Amino acid sequence: MSALSFADDILPLLRPGDIGEMEAYGMDLSSYEDVKKRANDIYKRLAAKDMPCDKPWGTADIAKFKRWIESGMQP
């Protein structure tokens, strides 16, 4: 299995509305650097089903995000 990347595997999971909503809180989910810096906090919220607020991610997508973190958070 090849390493996951932000551009190919994580960014497509983020809906434009999610990106826009989080900009109001000072977080740019479309930015690799921002997501990398906050990856553990984002993962905790995803796993708790607190994020996104209208439709939590499925188990497979949450696991993919965790694998991205564990595999070194490639751009």
Q: Which of 54, 44, 49 is nearest to 21 (CA)?
A: 54
In a domain, 43, yes or no: yes
In a domain, 45, yes or no: yes
Q: Is the pTM of this model over 0.95?
A: no
State which residues form the domain around 52. Answer: 6-70
In a domain, 1, yes or no: no
3-state helix, strand, coil split of the chain in percent (to 5) is: 55, 5, 40
Q: What is the tally of structural domains in the chain?
A: 1
Q: Give the model's pLDDT for residue 72.
A: 96
pLDDT values of the chain reduced to their tens digit, one per residue, 75 residues: 678 999 999 999 999 888 888 888 888 999 999 999 999 999 999 999 988 878 899 999 999 999 999 999 999
In a domain, 75, yes or no: no
In a domain, 42, yes or no: yes
